[in-house]
Amino acid sequence: MQIDKQIAEQSSSYVGYLILKVLNKRRECTIYDLYDSLNKSINLSSRQLMAGMIFLFSLGLLEFSEAKLWLIK
């Protein structure tokens, strides 16, 4: 069974993976910087970004306060 690439790129787990890649380079960043850097690689909506953030938050990997995000280690 194969998944369409466009559908896979919209999943919260894939967006969460991209968020982790950005946050591994920088210890913390703002939501705006994260959106700008992810929007360069794929066409990302704000809803997809929030779904990816919530996915990582529910796994206990991400913490955010106001506009700042950081990884929990």
CA atoms within 13 A on the CB side of 64: 20
Q: Give the pLDDT score at 31.
A: 94
Q: Report the predicted TM-score, pTM, of the whole model to 2 decimal places.
A: 0.86
Q: Give the pLDDT score at 27.
A: 82
Give the residues of the chain that fall short of pLDDT 70: 1
Which residues lie closer than 8 Å to 71 by C-beta, 6 or more apart?
20, 23, 24, 27, 28, 61, 62, 63
The CATH class of 5-71 is mainly alpha
| Residue 65, beta-bridge partner list | 68
Cα 50 to chain centroid distance, Å, stands at 8
Q: Give the pLDDT score at 1.
A: 66
**Is residue 54 a contact partner of residue 16, using CB atoms and an 8 Å limit?**
no
